[in-house]
Structure 1
Amino acid sequence: MNRIVLKGHAKDLGDHFIIKRVLPAMEKRSIGPFVFLDHFGPKKMELGNEMVVRSHPHIGLATITFLYNGLIHHRDSLGFSQLIRPYETNWMVAGKGIAHSERSERDPNSDLLEGLQTWIALPKDKEDIEPSFQHIGKAEIPKLEDEKSTIYVLGGEFQNMTSTAVTHSELIYVDIQIKIESSSYSWSINPSYESGIYVSKGKIQVGDRIIQEGELVYFEVGETISFQSLEPSRLMLLGGRPLAERRHIWWNFVSTDQEKIERAKELWAKDLFPKVPDEVDRIPLPEH
């Protein structure tokens, strides 16, 4: 099998904050409803070297933020002000339009910041729903642990465990920590789902392909997820039912309708999006 493997590429989010962007890619624009995957860090947080993502808009998608290390302060135009810590998730549904900001905070337990942010394209009939926000603490996330691995089900259903996250798309999103090297894993998921495993740390082997840190290996619709760990690793399993329609993506906007993106661009340019309380700075509309 000529298996698809995506390699994260470096991107500057501004102020020299470099991340790995894995999705979208030329080889694969989406996996299930997931249209975007960024791996940020690990980066040492020092005074004057914080992560600052000023107020910016979204439409037509849901964002998921999951941390390995550090603290991030989320603020949005619904009025939510929420710290997110490791093993917690922030689910933000943009729907017809939301603005938010993200800033790192000092963490007494770690001077590193690292995590993943993914975007989910909302179903066509839900692109214009009311925006919403859900924070899920570590104790609320289903966990399965044995001598080989620790698994947290962040979204959807996996191994008879169901996430408490409210989702509008058929998906699976699972944090997997492999504790030992040279062990084999094989899991069946919904046969209508495609999926991928992203290697945040470590190394695994799928068939005759070695998947390195910063790479994502793709599994086709209905395919059993099988791999061997080559060393202790941190993985993210993601996927779901493939999108039925093409998605337009421009900056922070996702839609099946290009006209909706044009309207969102105009609203942000004219400062007519909902405002984020206690945020003065905003990211201007890009020229391109």
Structure 2
Amino acid sequence: MLDLVIDARQASISSGFDVRRILPFRQRRMVGPFVFMDHAGPVNLQPEQMTNMDVLPHPHIGLSTVSYLFGGQVTHRDSLGVQQIIRPGEVNWMTAGSGIAHSERFEDPATLAGGQLEMIQTWVALPEADEETAPAFTNYQPHELPVFTDTGVWMRLIAGDAFGLRNDVRTHSPLFYLHVVLQPGARFGMPQGHKERGAYVAKGSVEVAGHVYTAGQLLVFTPGVDPIILAREASTLMLLGGEPLGERFIWWNFVSSRRERIDQAKADWEAGRILLPPNDNAEFVPLPQDKSRPAGSGGAQPQPQALS
């Protein structure tokens, strides 16, 4: 029924901002094309702490970053010149491809001090044929993301296809990504037609085959099984997965099917060949001094500069 249960670990993405990191994990580097997952918040900070939270401009290659908020707001700026505030129910989908830099700024003191900021950040690896695609960014509004409701069940399709739902979020490989809210006692299944599938418990607790799983756990299901998820209390799940893409090498914020491409990305960032956001270029994150080789699908490496 379950291949693995992954417990979130604490990770720091800036001097004042800790998150729960779910992927990559040493025993399971990817679920479908999803190679990275962070859960941030709820954040409740005093005003003097807020300036430390911002994630300064940093680079990516070979992936798409996907930002989704439960509460609060975040300002995205990137080297394409995009400036976009993302709010709950929207999706920021940024494809790094051949190389992009961006920042995440937390510029609304009310949401931070009020404990409203909470978000999920994932990275989706690109197929080999698309790893060098031109960088792109799209914000998708809630009305573009179909919602389904049933007794005790609410769900929004963030990307891909599942349960007969589809949307126009541009992906590069077969996948699904869903935000699901269950009321106590509700029963729910996993979408079929995808080889690898996982369910992250963001809030609450659920029961699967007589075992209880709680917030901060990612359940990775055995291919071909059809599990029933029972909500033990009001619960929020993020369902994700799709077709596997093969091994990926990860170093810091760089993902590629080729080690030498990551070495090139390191050199490009140090030399300034990956441009900074034109409206956020006064500071940036330097290349980490860790000179280790890229690790296969998420081994030891400098901490990624997520969110996004």
**Length-normalised TM-score, structure 1:** 0.95
* Separation (CA, whole Å) in 2 of partners of 1:80 and 1:129: 18
| Alignment partner, residue 20 of structure 1 | 20
Aligned partner (choices 88, 91, 94) of residue 92 of structure 1: 94
Map 1:108-257 → 2, pairs under 5 A: 111-178=115-182, 180-190=183-193, 192-243=194-245, 245-257=246-258
What do the CA deviations read for 1:156-177 (whole angstroms, capped 9, x no partner)? 1122110220000211000001
Alpha carbons 1:45, 1:113 under 8 Å: kept: no
Whichever residue aligns with residue 43 of structure 2, its letter is K
* Separation (CA, whole Å) in 1 of partners of 2:96 and 2:126: 9
| Alignment partner, residue 106 of structure 2 | 104
Whichever residue aligns with residue 64 of structure 1, its letter is V
Runs of 4+ in 1 over 6 A off after TM superposition: none
The number of aligned residues is 285
- Does residue 30 (structure 1) correspond to residue 30 (structure 2)? The answer is yes
* Separation (CA, whole Å) in 1 of partners of 2:240 and 2:151: 23
Residues 107, 88 of structure 1: CA spacing in aligned structure 2 closer, same or farther, 3 A cutoff? farther
What do the CA deviations read for 1:132-188 (whole angstroms, capped 9, x no partner)? 01101112110011331110000111221102200002110000011x212222244
Q: CA deviation at 1:116?
A: 0.4
Q: CA deviation at 1:66?
A: 0.2
Alpha carbons 1:199, 1:215 under 8 Å: kept: yes
Alpha carbons 1:157, 1:163 under 8 Å: kept: yes
* Separation (CA, whole Å) in 2 of partners of 1:171 and 1:107: 35
Return 5+ residue gaps in structure 2 as ranges. Answer: 291-308
Map 1:40-79 → 2, pairs under 5 A: 40-50=40-50, 51-79=53-81
Alpha carbons 1:124, 1:256 under 8 Å: kept: yes
Residues 250, 184 of structure 1: CA spacing in aligned structure 2 closer, same or farther, 3 A cutoff? same
Whichever residue aligns with residue 118 of structure 2, its letter is E
Alpha carbons 1:152, 1:176 under 8 Å: kept: yes
Alpha carbons 1:94, 1:130 under 8 Å: kept: yes
Residues 86, 156 of structure 1: CA spacing in aligned structure 2 closer, same or farther, 3 A cutoff? same
Q: CA deviation at 1:47?
A: 2.2
Q: CA deviation at 1:111?
A: 4.2
* Separation (CA, whole Å) in 2 of partners of 1:128 and 1:225: 37
Alpha carbons 1:58, 1:97 under 8 Å: kept: yes
* Separation (CA, whole Å) in 2 of partners of 1:265 and 1:23: 22
Secondary structure of 1:49's counterpart equals helix
Whichever residue aligns with residue 8 of structure 1, its letter is A
Secondary structure of 1:260's counterpart equals helix
Whichever residue aligns with residue 90 of structure 1, its letter is N
* Separation (CA, whole Å) in 2 of partners of 1:88 and 1:3: 31
| Alignment partner, residue 306 of structure 2 | none
Secondary structure of 1:57's counterpart equals strand
| Alignment partner, residue 259 of structure 2 | 258
Alpha carbons 1:183, 1:229 under 8 Å: kept: yes
Alpha carbons 1:185, 1:227 under 8 Å: kept: yes
